[in-house]
């Protein structure tokens, strides 16, 4: 009477869909092998391969069970075996996930990596702190880079290479001969081209998994909210001027977004993380910009070509740590690098309760436009 049993033990995909959508859905079990499961599955399914059903299915005894496999053969055998073991209300989906898909029902793509990604990110997958889940996290991450210059170059290249899935780049400049000594994102062929275009092309060549969102504009009090509202998790500050740095700081406090800050001058660089709520902001350290005549960044200061490579790479590393939630970020710690000395130093930096922006009674509550004040030549 095998035929009768099959009638009892099999349901078609339409009925399966109906049951799964009902108020009391059955337990859906995918009995295929790992490699098949990795190619896609029906949403909400548990994965218990045929050979592992035994004890793993025991907890669901007494519940309505719907089993499926690729074409419905293995799951029918499994349903037969389970019903012989006294499971009641076990059915198999006739035609399996193939029939399900052909009927137009949705198949959930795995939150895993495809074959190419497994190779590309294999050195991340080997690290327990990252692994498959961490790499998925990176691929789902959104990081905003302000500035595609010296600091932004290594940060952008390494974040893209690491598989950060969405990278925004804000820069209104074009590639100039004097940039190429350190801005390794750009090439001689890109001279005269907007930096965001040159960056988008280069990052696309490096890693097709990355979506680059270019903003060919300079951050201003008028556009900063619009740009920061577009779903970013971490901001990398690679700005070369005080107006942008202060604007970005105030915006990040009000938008509750961490900033990975870097700055460079001649042979010295510094890097830290400003995390609103858990550490100081830039204004806790420097409440107001220096007067324009004393501000080296308002004019162009000289810089050793490789220095932004060191500082921007550390910014990239801090960004990955924040996205992955691993390690000890540079919050409340200012890391100083002296290339001439070949030394790193660390200075503790504290949140200032009297900070004009993140303090207890803020005195700055709207954006300050320092651009004209600074008089930076465009
Ligand atoms: Zn502050």
Joined together, the tokens standing for residue 292 give: 């324009």
Please give the distance, rounded to the nearest whole angstrom, from the Cα atom of residue 146 to the centre of ligand 1. 20
At how many degrees (to 10) do helices 307-324 and 131-139 cross? 110
| Per-residue pLDDT, 71 | 94
Please give the distance, rounded to the nearest whole angstrom, from the Cα atom of residue 170 to the centre of ligand 1. 24
How many angstroms separate the CA atoms of 354 and 345, rounded? 26
Please give the distance, rounded to the nearest whole angstrom, from the Cα atom of residue 286 to the centre of ligand 1. 9
| Per-residue pLDDT, 112 | 80
Nearest to 133 by CA among 330, 325, 329, 318: 325
| Per-residue pLDDT, 300 | 62
Please give the distance, rounded to the nearest whole angstrom, from the Cα atom of residue 108 to the centre of ligand 1. 44
Please give the distance, rounded to the nearest whole angstrom, from the Cα atom of residue 350 to the centre of ligand 1. 9
How many angstroms separate the CA atoms of 169 and 213, rounded? 6
Please give the distance, rounded to the nearest whole angstrom, from the Cα atom of residue 364 to the centre of ligand 1. 11
| Per-residue pLDDT, 366 | 96
Please give the distance, rounded to the nearest whole angstrom, from the Cα atom of residue 362 to the centre of ligand 1. 9
Across the chain, which distance is largest between two alpha carbons, in Å?
A: 95
Please give the distance, rounded to the nearest whole angstrom, from the Cα atom of residue 242 to the centre of ligand 1. 16
- CB atoms within 5 A of ion ligand 1 belong to 281, 283-284, 355, 358
Please give the distance, rounded to the nearest whole angstrom, from the Cα atom of residue 351 to the centre of ligand 1. 6
Please give the distance, rounded to the nearest whole angstrom, from the Cα atom of residue 253 to the centre of ligand 1. 8
Please give the distance, rounded to the nearest whole angstrom, from the Cα atom of residue 212 to the centre of ligand 1. 31
Please give the distance, rounded to the nearest whole angstrom, from the Cα atom of residue 257 to the centre of ligand 1. 13
Nearest to 203 by CA among 160, 154, 144, 164: 160
Q: Using CA atoms in the order 178, 183, 184, 190, what is the torsion angle rounded to 10 degrees?
A: -60
Nearest to 100 by CA among 90, 112, 92: 92
Please give the distance, rounded to the nearest whole angstrom, from the Cα atom of residue 352 to the centre of ligand 1. 6
Please give the distance, rounded to the nearest whole angstrom, from the Cα atom of residue 363 to the centre of ligand 1. 11
pLDDT in tens, the chain (378 residues): 445 555 689 999 999 999 999 999 999 999 998 777 777 789 999 999 998 998 899 999 999 999 999 999 999 999 999 999 999 899 999 999 999 999 999 988 766 888 899 899 999 988 988 988 899 999 999 999 999 999 999 999 999 999 999 999 999 999 999 999 999 999 999 999 999 999 999 999 999 999 999 999 999 999 999 999 999 999 999 998 889 999 999 999 999 999 999 999 999 999 999 999 999 999 999 999 887 766 655 446 799 999 999 999 999 999 999 999 999 999 999 999 999 999 999 999 999 999 999 999 999 999 998 865 544 433
**What are the angstrom distances between the C-alpha of 341 and each of 44, 155, 206, 264, 338?**
58, 24, 34, 15, 5
Please give the distance, rounded to the nearest whole angstrom, from the Cα atom of residue 280 to the centre of ligand 1. 5
Please give the distance, rounded to the nearest whole angstrom, from the Cα atom of residue 148 to the centre of ligand 1. 26
| Per-residue pLDDT, 5 | 54
How many angstroms separate the CA atoms of 155 and 314, rounded? 8
The DSSP H or E segment spanning 235 is: strand 234-237
Please give the distance, rounded to the nearest whole angstrom, from the Cα atom of residue 71 to the centre of ligand 1. 61
Strand-pair category, 268-274 with 343-348: unpaired
Please give the distance, rounded to the nearest whole angstrom, from the Cα atom of residue 298 to the centre of ligand 1. 22
Please give the distance, rounded to the nearest whole angstrom, from the Cα atom of residue 378 to the centre of ligand 1. 29
Please give the distance, rounded to the nearest whole angstrom, from the Cα atom of residue 375 to the centre of ligand 1. 25
| Per-residue pLDDT, 291 | 77
Please give the distance, rounded to the nearest whole angstrom, from the Cα atom of residue 339 to the centre of ligand 1. 29
Please give the distance, rounded to the nearest whole angstrom, from the Cα atom of residue 358 to the centre of ligand 1. 4
Lateral strand order in the sheet of 27-30 = 10-11, 90-93, 65-68, 27-30, 46-47
Please give the distance, rounded to the nearest whole angstrom, from the Cα atom of residue 243 to the centre of ligand 1. 16
């Amino acid at each position: 009477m095998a035929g009768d049993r099959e009638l009892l033990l099999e349901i078609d995909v339409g009925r399966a869909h109906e049951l799964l959508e009902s108020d009391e859905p059955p337990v859906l079990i995918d009995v295929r092998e790992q490699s098949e499961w990795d190619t896609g599955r029906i949403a909400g399914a548990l994965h218990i391969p045929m050979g592992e059903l035994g004890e793993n299915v025991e907890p669901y005894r007494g519940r309505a069970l719907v089993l499926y496999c690729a074409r419905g053969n293995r799951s029918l055998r499994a349903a037969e075996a389970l019903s012989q073991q006294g499971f009641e209300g076990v059915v198999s989906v006739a035609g399996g996930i193939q029939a399900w898909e052909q009927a137009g029902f949705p198949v959930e793509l795995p939150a895993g990596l495809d074959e190419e990604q497994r190779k590309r990110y294999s050195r991340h997958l080997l690290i327990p702190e990252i692994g498959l889940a961490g790499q998925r996290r990176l691929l789902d991450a959104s990081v905003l880079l302000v500035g595609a210059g010296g600091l932004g170059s290594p940060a952008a290249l390494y974040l893209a290479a690491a598989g950060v899935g969405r990278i925004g780049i804000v820069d209104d400049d074009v590639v100039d001969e004097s940039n190429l000594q350190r801005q390794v994102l750009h090439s001689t062929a890109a001279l005269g081209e907007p930096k965001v275009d040159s960056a988008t092309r280069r990052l696309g060549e490096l890693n097709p998994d990355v979506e680059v969102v270019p903003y060919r504009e300079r951050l201003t009090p008028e556009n900063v909210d619009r740009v920061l509202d577009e779903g970013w998790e971490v901001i990398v500050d690679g700005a070369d001027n005080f107006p942008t740095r202060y604007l970005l700081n105030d915006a990040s406090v009000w938008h509750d977004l961490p900033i990975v800050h870097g700055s460079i001058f001649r042979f010295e660089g510094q890097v830290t993380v400003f995390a609103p709520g858990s550490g100081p902001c830039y204004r806790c350290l420097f409440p107001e910009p220096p007067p324009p005549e004393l501000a080296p960044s308002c004019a162009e200061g000289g810089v050793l070509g490789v220095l932004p490579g060191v500082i921007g790479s550390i910014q990239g590393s801090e960004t990955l740590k924040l996205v992955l939630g691993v390690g000890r970020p540079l919050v409340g710690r200012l890391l100083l690098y002296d290339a001439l000395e070949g030394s790193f130093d660390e200075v503790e930096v504290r949140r200032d309760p009297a900070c004009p922006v993140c303090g207890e009674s803020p005195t700055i509550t709207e954006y300050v436009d320092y651009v004209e004040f600074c008089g930076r030549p465009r």
